[in-house]
Amino acid sequence: MEDKLFSVKGKLCIVTGGLGQIGKNFVQELYSRGARVAVFTKHLTGERIEKTFPSAEYSRENLRFYSVDINRKDTIEAALDQMLEVWPEAPDVLVNNAGIDTQPSAPPEVSGPFEQFPESVFREVVDVNLVGTFLMCQAVGARMAVSGKGGSIINIGSIYGMLSPVQDIYAYKEEQTGVPFIKPVAYSAAKSGIYNLTRYLATYWGKKGIRVNTLTPAGVWRDTQDETFQANFTARMPMGRMSQENEYNGALIFLASQASSFMTGSNLVIDGGWTAW
């Protein structure tokens, strides 16, 4: 029996940053459930596409790729116009997943004390994570609103946008290298803005049937991470592990489908208990 409650079959979905670690899982899940998916991303190459989504497994009928910098309105509008040529309707779902963060491997210039944190880097990180999400909501939400059919916008937040990072987790860096690593302010400040952008748009478009919610992930395990970082992060996590990269898919399908039809302006936290203490 087809599961109508959680169905995304035939829905037209845009996923920004859909070749990244979490984004590619969102794309796979939506595609495998019969959605039509458009990946909007920077750093798009034929090789990267084929490696992540081989054309033998993923029909280009239902999965398309557009070169988009979410900070540039012209690239967003051009991609939406190109999409119209193959899918002549407004999108049903927008997943604002593209983002940038400072990894523990970052150089000291961008991971030093707050007092010296470069303004240019603060602006860049806010630009991608917050302004880029704003621009995508504006362009796609406008099309959803005109269409009259509603839609679901899912903004990807972060535990570091809900709470401040726990700096102790990164203290090992100074022990290893003699240079302190301070998890920077920029990502936290930018991600925190996502929560009220979400609430604002939920109320603004509420009567038009456009639902807007945040999905909050926690730290995802990556084989390139420093083992001490993984151990420190895990020690702080009530569930005693980092997440796998596909553990947000269930929440995504819930938010994209009718299953969440009365949910808007809200925040779905999938964090292994990080924010529970």
Ligand X SMILES: NC(=O)c1ccc[n+]([C@@H]2O[C@H](COP(=O)([O-])OP(=O)(O)OC[C@H]3O[C@@H](n4cnc5c(N)ncnc54)[C@H](O)[C@@H]3O)[C@@H](O)[C@H]2O)c1
Q: Which residues are CB-neighbours of 16 under 8 A, at least 6 positions away? A: 23, 39, 40, 41, 68, 70, 95, 96, 97, 98, 132, 136
**Which of 188, 240, 184 is CA-nearest to residue 216?**
188
Q: Of 91, 219, 265, 272, which lies in the binding site for ligand X, with binding defined by CB under 6 A?
A: 219
CA distance 121 to 100: 11
Rg value, the chain, Cα? 19
Which region among 7-15, 50-58, 95-103, 199-207 touches ligand X (by CB under 6 A)?
95-103
217 in contact with ligand X (CB under 6 A): yes
Length of the chain: 277
Site string for ligand X, 155-194 (x = CB under 6 A): -x-x------------------------------------
CB of 66 to ligand X, least distance (A): 10
Please say which residue, 7 or 246, places its beta carbon nearer to ligand X.
246
Please say which residue, 101 or 147, places its beta carbon nearer to ligand X.
101
**Which of 178, 23, 192, 7 is CA-nearest to residue 94?**
23
70 in contact with ligand X (CB under 6 A): yes
> If residue 210 lies in a helix (H) or strand (E), which one and from where to where?
strand 210-217
Q: Of 7, 62, 69, 171, which lies in the binding site for ligand X, with binding defined by CB under 6 A?
A: 69
Please say which residue, 145 or 220, places its beta carbon nearer to ligand X.
220
Positions that interact with ligand X (CB under 6 A): 16-17, 19-23, 41-43, 68-71, 97-101, 128, 132, 156, 158, 217-220
